[in-house]
Structure 1
């Protein structure tokens, strides 16, 4: 197994400057012979002196970690540091119709002669139902069990203390997880396999899969000094900020780490036309009309951007209906995907559109260019019947206009100038601009559609505050999230759009701006299917999501349900523009599916979390429901974890255990200098960024780093000797020697 190692960047070149020149002194006797200085030392002699100095310095310094590797905390005070475990990841995905089953294999390799513990924060899809973990140590395979989070931590801690190999998988966010692996032996490789289920997204007839490969640094707002309501110290808006801020490598100083290999086998259930990725080069193998095998053309790639895969039905072969069922015990689980018909010639209603653009530090570079290009394209689509405004934010905010303005040429030009001048800097204080965008000063007006278009990478830690603000302030607005960059926060994007009864659009590169913006405005300008309802002929159906969202052009409704009886019908009804719309499906026509029960349970858990965050359910009641569903379906959640323990103790009694957080790559296109704060001419940014973007060597005061001043005495002695030799070689020293030419004869 090949593993990538970060390399140190060599130092800069030696400074150079002009050669000093000056007047030439005369000889000691008028008219006498000129003073003859000793010849300058030959270049070979100087090179020899430099070589001796280098050897002396090298002998005086302790050996640094090989290859510029990253350093763990020492197992005990005063001990020398050891290298962090190396990580390699393989992702294997099986797509079966509307669902995908994935296995993520993480290989932790200990290259030292110490026992180590590694912690790795990694992303998964926001709708991933994580239900399996396996630990492989040597020839032993240990299958994890599900437990309440606190109990799983106690089990892991006890195993670590006893010298057993163990692994713990915990959820930090629905799309951010942590693996901790204890007792990796000297020179040993330990495998941790994570299994999960997810759904395949469908939009405009295009089926897609998004696999996040890196957790982007997140901005975590600092708590206010006091709670204004109670006067007591304010609660931290991100109480777990330390668990979602792993160390991040500066790409200017470190080569990429954490290489990833990936393969996807697609069994679409219909003849496949084009299959492609906007994020990575592919090699595609044809396995038949409805099946393909996809691998990365470049083999192992750095984990620095999300992987996206899309496939389309062959022309004229698009499936008319997506209806799948799975039998688990005495229960039937159903997954339905239905696309409403085109609205036809229904007139477009005038719109009030508020555009919000994120210009915080994480948007620096390619992301800022993508966001500005997208917004400029959106402004060009407005017409004279529309009104609009533009709000920009970092850790401050302002608007192009005091209120909505007519979308006439003069106002559009002013808005274009406002957008063109934006630069990425500062923190991501998203709450205030969101509230400002949702504030509706014209709620009494009828006949106009109010829409908020929010362009951001979503790199924040206080997602719950955003969810509460949407639930409290949405009103008649509809919220459309535009995810910018190579690693957007998919959980926030999707959750915000669902609550805002809008949709999500992802723009991963400047090349995608035109197509994605056109798709977005096709939705914004088309009437939605509203007041959507799902009715089963048989009683006792438990349906998610509830309520069903508004639907836009090309956006299907995807619902999951638990049924007591698989017979009967499902009727979907609503209003398409001003017309009623209805479609009835025969459940007997459903095809067999896999993993649908996991998808249903994961969605029900998400609804319970939303009810808790927004206050629609008491925290105790919501937690009880989450725990019940998680334990019944063996899923990792905020309250449950997977833990695997090898029963045989392996680490010798008393042997110390070094620990470290494995570092992450910076997402492709991000500007590291915008995230780390002052120093070396870098701009100052709020502390919420710096905590998430420290270089690993500075991640903790307990890390004993190599002492760069060690050996200064031998080097000082060598320098004194060289100086003395120079003085002797050039005696007597005259400006002519310094000028590099003989002194002229006195006149």
Structure 2
């Protein structure tokens, strides 16, 4: 093998995208290098499972070196900032290379030893607004393949009444086999489900399908190669953007949802139907010279909007500060129309000048709240600043001490740090010490929207002085919360002492206005371990504990801080989390880098950062991290064999029939119908494209399909059974087994995996799943993307339907009353084949026409 080039050799780019750094004579290019055909990503899958708001996401990228020489191949993905990487591996030529989480000191030692042997290494994580970048590379022999697998975990945070799972994809090229599969399981029931983000725009919206049942939801994103160039931020280099899955769960005015398994519990508390509490709020606005220009303009715009949203029974105050502090009014005023309009006039007059006296500003705000106490109101302070204190008291520890003493745990302080010059760690510590949070406001064109978005999160207090009590529980995460806001959620995890459920008694005590309220085990809590694994709950507990220990460490000094640091390290190592105290050592083939993957930290990149260019922060030679940088909705849930549940109980198998389900819009239960298992069916007909898909049901078992056939024009035929996949193209015949292979023709691609065949023809995408039940194999075709056009028909192309329950066991479908009965079916359109409830109706009522319209010759 020829001598290996440096990991990131300097290649003069046509247009620099990031920047360049140099250390000890070695150039490391921070450019998004183009893939000039040297290697090919032939498969890119993202699988995310969310159970009880805890998301585990696996990214799998399969790449091949097309060249006649060894090539360095890069794996580059972005993950949410709140997530912890928990696993990484590479598979090269049958050999697995694992990432191993170690303490930072031990990892650094291993790294240093690698450097001493002449190997290069790098910390390759960066910080963005909501995402971090993970990047690594490895040299791959000619025509050899490499598989990268990265797993990360995060607890989804409820904000403004919804959870958001963000999945980012930028594979740097169109990928023939690209998939995102998301499964959401919520014991409380799913209230709504939406899909948004840049990857759901333009024709890519047709590549998204979603399924919603009572407690489960699935989202599939299967874009074709052509579609991967057509979203708002897509192009010839493929997709560049995110897919955001938005949902919420059902709630009532109770203790909430408590899930337990094998000694661990997780409590989600967000009671509904509470009355809002009026608030006292003081805004402290930095008007120093550094706020000049757009920052000041955006701050005024946001404040004008916020003032307009105040409720009339709220009270508010405005303080502006630079070198001195100015009060709009010395007392809090009620937010009536006259006072709000006067405050808006004052806001329009705010101008930037002078230095920054943060100490006096916050103490003045605390004094206003202390001097205007009102029973039944929630009080809060909101500080907005873009810089360090430069006048008055400038010692950070002294300011923090003064603020702690002035607030004295009576109300929360929220600190908003505007831009990159601000000392964010100082603001974060000051907020945490006073029951609040710090938020960085990025100095972008939407900064005013960021400010308004934060205010909306705290605009409607519902409870104050919330105390979560768990008799019979131990090792609890945070249990005291100053306020609970509308649209948010309180999450507590812990262990059940001796796993004694009888002695485990959860209680929540809080203040609603001026009234003490109590939620206890007797008024509606749920204790359930259904569908939740023991390891999942313990990982939620560990995730929350590590996050809160990191916050606690920020507030401590000396021996106490060291003790908390050791606790964090021990827990991070036990659960394999990459945190600020651990690193993942990525060992590669002999002669390759040993890379150390670190959790990045928010940093202030100074002047370069303001220009949008990352700044290098060196820890050891060559070791760096990058600072902050500013279907048409048609689904057919195809079902496998079903069981009929009669009123008297018991399960009766229905022989020689196959069950199908048609999506019912805005309904908890879907519609299901059965067909004779000896039929051959027209699954898809597209005359404009000369495309047809047919399937033969398995009459011998009554389970699924035994054969699926595809005809495209006169040129391509595919026949799929449980053993072989045959492709005929002209006179050429290719046979494939259910293994990992990729086959392409013009406008046609076939990707096979052990139990899945993924077929694309133009803008149609069909997945054929192979299931095995009690040793019996059968097929199930799933239309992931319906082709565009008015002439498209077939069983899989039937549009979603609406129905109305008119009386017991009677439904109104398409204007006709039909008899129905409750049934349950196994959904084989999903790999896990979950059991779903449905309304069983006659096939003609579900299809809208006679079954004979869907019959086809045996494929």
Alignment TM-score > 0.5, same fold: yes
Describe the superposition over 1:425-451 as per-residue Cα deviations: whole angstroms up to 9, x where unpaired: 999x79558734653255255425463
**Match for residue 478 of structure 1?**
412
SS of 1:144's equivalent in the other structure is: strand
Show structure 2 runs of 5+ residues with no match: 1-10, 36-43, 623-859
Q: 1:265 aligns with which of 175, 182, 193?
A: 182
From 256, 261, 273, give the equivalent of 1:342.
273
Tell me which residue corresponds to 1:325: 260
- Quote the RMSD (CA, aligned, Å): 6.1
Partner of 1:614: 555
Instruction: Output one character per residue of 1:192-233: Cα deviation in whole Å (capped at 9) or x when no partner.
Output: 64422222333565333356899xxxxxxxxxxxxxxxxxxx
* 1:574 to partner: Cα distance: 1.0
| 1:3 paired residue number | none
Question: How many residues matched?
Answer: 552
Question: What do the CA deviations read for 1:573-593 (whole angstroms, capped 9, x no partner)?
Answer: 213321332221777534342
1:151-550 map, 5 Å: 151-162=106-117, 181=136, 193-202=149-158, 205-210=161-166, 263=180, 265-269=182-186, 270-271=189-190, 273-277=192-196, 281=200, 283=205, 284-289=208-213, 290-293=216-219, 295=221, 299=228, 301=233, 308-312=244-248, 321-327=256-262, 332-344=263-275, 351-357=279-285, 372-382=300-310, 386-391=314-319, 399=326, 401=328, 403-407=330-334, 412-420=340-348, 432=359, 435-436=362-363, 439-441=366-368, 443=370, 445-447=372-374, 449=377, 451-452=379-380, 454=382, 474-475=407-408, 476-479=410-413, 500-501=434-435, 520=457, 523-524=460-461, 526=462, 528-536=463-471, 538=472, 540-550=473-483
Instruction: Work out the CA distance in 2 between the residues paired with 1:431 and 1:108.
Output: 53
State the distance in 2 between where 1:64 and 1:511 align.
38
Residue 354 of structure 1 and its aligned partner are, at CA, apart by 1.1
Task: Specify whether residues 84 and 557 from structure 1 end up closer, same or farther in structure 2 by C-alpha distance, changes over 3 A only.
Answer: closer
Aligned partner of 1:649 among 584, 591, 605: 591
Structure 2 counterpart SS, 1:86: coil
Q: Note if 1:560 corresponds to 2:516.
A: no
SS at 1:342 equivalent = coil
Q: Deviations over 1:315-350 (max 9, x none)?
A: x999994333344xxxx3211112235344x8x55x
Is contact 1:494-1:504 (8 Å) kept? Answer: yes
- What is the Cα deviation at residue 101 of structure 1? 0.6
Shift in CA distance, 86/600, structure 1 to aligned 2, threshold 3 Å: farther
Distance 1:309 1:459, change over 3 A: farther
Q: 1:91 to 1:376 in 2, by over 3 A?
A: farther
Q: 1:458 to 1:68 in 2, by over 3 A?
A: closer
Counterpart among 139, 143, 146 of residue 98 in structure 2: 143
Q: 1:388/1:335 Cα in 2 relative to 1: closer, same or farther (>3 Å)?
A: same
1:119-134 matches, within 5 Å, as 124-126=80-82, 128-134=83-89
- SS in structure 1 at match of 2:280: strand
The aligned counterpart of 1:581 is 518
- CA positional deviation for 1:293: 1.0
Identify the structure with the greater strand proportion.
2
Conserved? CA contact 1:453–1:482, under 8 Å = no
Structure with larger Rg: 1
Change (3 A) 1:500 1:641: same
Shift of the 550–317 alpha-carbon distance from structure 1 to 2, 3 Å rule, reads closer
- Tell me how far apart the structure 2 counterparts of residues 460 and 193 of structure 1 sit (CA, whole Å): 42
Q: Name 1:93's counterpart in structure 2.
A: 48
Cα pair distance change 1:481/1:605, threshold 3 Å: same
Matches within 5 A, 1:36-75: 65-66=13-14
- Structure with greater contact order relative to length (CA < 8 Å, sep ≥ 6): 1
Residue 631 in 1 paired to residue 573 in 2? yes
Deviation at 1:552, TM superposition (A): 2.9
Provide, for residues 446-477 of structure 1, a one-character-per-residue CA deviation record: whole Å limited to 9, x for no partner: 42546345476999999x98988875654322
Task: Give, in whole Å, the separation in 1 of the partners of 2:181 and 2:46.
Answer: 8
Match 2:532 to one of 579, 593, 601: 593
CA 1:690 to 1:366, structure 2 compared with 1: closer, same or farther past 3 Å? closer
State the distance in 2 between where 1:510 and 1:558 align: 29
CA distance in 2 between counterparts of 1:378 and 1:520 reads 12
The 5 A counterparts of 1:665-704 are 689-693=606-610
Q: Which residue of 2 aligns with 1:572?
A: 507
Q: 1:85 to 1:602 in 2, by over 3 A?
A: same
Distance 2:73 2:325 in 1: 47
Gaps of 5+ in 1: 1-62, 215-255, 652-656, 662-674, 676-686, 704-747
The two structures have a TM-score, normalised by structure 1, of: 0.57
Instruction: Provide closer, same or farther for how the CA distance between residues 691 and 396 of structure 1 changes in structure 2, counting only shifts above 3 A.
Output: farther
What displacement does 1:641 show? Answer: 0.8
Secondary structure at the residue paired with 2:106?
Answer: helix
Matches of 2:51 and 2:105 in 1, distance apart?
Answer: 35
Distance in 2 separating the partners of 1:309 and 1:170: 25
